[in-house]
Amino acid sequence: GMKPVCAIYSTFLQRGYDQVVHDVAIQSLPVRFAMDRAGLVGADGSTHAGSFDIGFMGALPGMVLMAAADEAELAAMISTSLAIDDR
């Protein structure tokens, strides 16, 4: 089946966390989240610093977290995430 990929700023996903819990995690749906602006991002300001994403996403059942250091790692991680079939 299809595996949707949701590309979103880390801080913006905080606003939709309840939906992630109820509409993805609890139902074990195969949604992938590609979060941008994770960690401290400087020029975007404190409102765009994704300081909590590892904590709030890592608390969910079945969630696999990966953090790419560069473009090559990101490409490999996207391929890996799409190859996972049990969540």
Reading phi first (left if > 0) and then psi (alpha if -120 to 50, else beta), residue 13 is in: alpha
pLDDT above 80: residue 87: no
- pLDDT one-digit tens code per residue, 42-57: 787 888 888 899 999 9
pLDDT at position 79 is 95
- pLDDT one-digit tens code per residue, 23-32: 999 999 999 9
Average pLDDT value over all residues in the chain: 92
Q: Which residue ranges form the domains of the chain, and what is each CATH number?
A: 5-83 (3.40.50.970)
- CA-nearest of 42, 51, 41, 60 to 11 is 51
Q: What would the two tokens of residue 29 be?
A: 């749906």
* 3-state secondary structure (DSSP) of residue 38: strand
